[in-house]
């Protein structure tokens, strides 16, 4: 596996890679992860829960950090590629990698589709917008070099077809550990809250959540909102909360570990995801798996998972008042809230559990043999 990060770094693709790797090891595969390391040494090797992890030299010289990392990863991979049968790249901030191994690429959201939502808030976002054509070209090169392409949602698949001309692909969704992310019988907190978890960035629509909170708190002045995560929008969100006199209603928890995150899910009243764009958010699957009623925007990537009034409530983007009304509906209609929460949990267990998703990815690996890669032995994945 090749990805830009793994836990505890709070990034969806990294958690996907880690979860998939653990499940493949349970099924007697050998798995190695190559990810970003320090600029100080060629690589650092460690073993995490049976997964061999190589942290290969990463030099943060923007905007050429991916090209530089690609050089070091390709060179390193050449020295060990005889130990593997295929390489599985998870395309989110990774470089093009030169290898003779068969390639599977999972697209977590194309750069071409992402850039329009990346407003300039800080230096990294300025670099992305300035050099977007270069990053998009690399993104396209990665997926076009693949023997098999996986999209995590219908939205990703549509972007791959439209922007990069990829016709032959599989849609295999993100997954969740439904045994870990589960319900608890008794809530620990006497006071429940509205919860958001994830990156604090423009495309997540969090300013709409804060503005919508005005309408909720007008009716329920003491209701709380918890924001778990970090990102470039954090300072602006806090300023907006202050400007709207909502300081007593909002709590910014920052990045939290999995155990703390589980408690946030289990003690929340409603989970809200007001995004403008998504691939397929793992946080949404986690909340559903914990039996939370959901309010989310009706965009591709979310509508893959949420069926309106069955597994969640869908609202338009850029609509703080409608977002607030949906939250109030779930707070005030306990029958509907419980029905949605139960359906959400059952839906995730049936279609998005790691057992189901891993089996589908294994089928893709095995299909490599049919492409003429006769050395594939079903055992070793890089």
Contacts of 334 (CB under 8 A, 6+ apart): none
Predicted pLDDT of residue 381: 65
> pLDDT for 249-258, tens place per residue?
999 999 998 8
Interatomic CA distance for residues 306 and 288, integer angstroms:
10
Token couple for 190 = 């006497």
Predicted pLDDT of residue 119: 67
Domains annotated for the chain, with CATH where assigned, are 12-175+353-381 (3.40.50.2000), 193-351 (3.40.50.2000)
Give pTM, 2 decimals. 0.89
> pLDDT for 94-131, tens place per residue?
999 999 999 999 999 888 887 776 666 666 667 777 88
> Could you identify the residue written with the tokens 């070099």?
145
11 φ/ψ angles, rounded to the nearest 5 degrees: -140, 135
Predicted pLDDT of residue 191: 65
Tell me the pLDDT band of 380, cut-offs 50, 70 and 90: low
Contacts of 235 (CB under 8 A, 6+ apart): none
> pLDDT for 310-341, tens place per residue?
999 999 999 999 999 999 999 999 999 999 99
> pLDDT for 360-376, tens place per residue?
999 999 998 665 555 44
Predicted pLDDT of residue 375: 46
**Element spanning 334, H or E:** helix 334-351
Least Cα distance to 317 among 238, 209, 241, 236 occurs for 209
What's the DSSP call for residue 271? E
Give Cα 175 to chain centroid, integer Å.
10
> pLDDT for 183-225, tens place per residue?
876 566 556 899 999 999 889 999 999 999 999 999 999 999 9
> pLDDT for 268-327, tens place per residue?
999 999 999 888 899 999 999 999 999 999 998 899 999 999 999 999 999 999 999 999
Predicted pLDDT of residue 117: 67
> pLDDT for 9-28, tens place per residue?
767 788 899 999 999 999 99
In the chain, the percentage of residues whose pLDDT exceeds 70 is: 92
What's the DSSP call for residue 223? -
């Amino acid at each position: 596996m090749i990805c830009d990060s793994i836990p505890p770094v709070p990034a969806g693709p990294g958690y996907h890679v880690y979860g998939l790797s653990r499940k493949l090891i349970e099924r007697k595969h050998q798995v190695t992860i190559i990810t970003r390391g320090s600029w100080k040494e060629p690589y650092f090797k460690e073993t995490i829960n049976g997964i061999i992890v190589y942290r290969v030299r990463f030099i943060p010289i923007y905007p050429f950090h991916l090209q530089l990392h690609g050089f070091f990863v390709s060179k390193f991979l050449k020295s060990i590629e005889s130990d593997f049968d295929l390489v599985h790249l998870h395309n989110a901030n990774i470089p093009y990698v030169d290898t003779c191994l068969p390639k599977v690429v999972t697209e977590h959201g194309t750069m071409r589709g992402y850039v329009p939502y990346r407003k300039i808030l800080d230096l990294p976002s300025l670099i992305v917008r300035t050099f977007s054509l270069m990053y998009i070209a690399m993104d396209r090169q990665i997926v076009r070099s693949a023997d098999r392409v996986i999209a995590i949602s219908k939205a990703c698949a549509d972007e791959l077809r439209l922007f990069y001309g990829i016709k032959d692909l599989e849609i295999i969704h993100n997954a969740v550990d439904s045994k870990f992310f589960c319900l608890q019988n008794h809530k620990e907190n006497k006071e429940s809250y509205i919860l958001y978890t994830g990156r604090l960035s423009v495309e997540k629509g969090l300013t709409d959540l804060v503005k919508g909170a005005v309408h909720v708190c007008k009716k329920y002045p003491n209701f709380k909102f918890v924001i778990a995560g970090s990102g470039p929008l954090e300072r602006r969100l806090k300023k907006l909360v202050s400007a709207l006199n909502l300081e007593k209603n909002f709590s910014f928890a920052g990045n939290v570990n999995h155990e703390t995150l589980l408690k946030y899910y289990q003690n929340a009243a409603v989970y809200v995801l007001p995004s403008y764009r998504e691939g397929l958010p793992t946080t949404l699957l986690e909340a559903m798996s914990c039996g939370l009623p959901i309010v989310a925007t009706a965009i591709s990537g979310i509508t893959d998972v949420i069926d309106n009034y069955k597994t969640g409530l869908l609202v338009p983007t850029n609509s703080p008042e409608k977002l607030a009304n949906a939250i109030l509906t779930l707070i005030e209609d306990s029958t509907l809230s419980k029905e949605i929460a139960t359906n959400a949990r059952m839906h995730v267990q049936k279609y998005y559990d790691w057992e189901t998703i891993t089996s589908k990815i294994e089928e893709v690996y095995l299909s490599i043999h049919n492409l003429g890669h006769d050395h594939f032995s079903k055992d070793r994945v890089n």
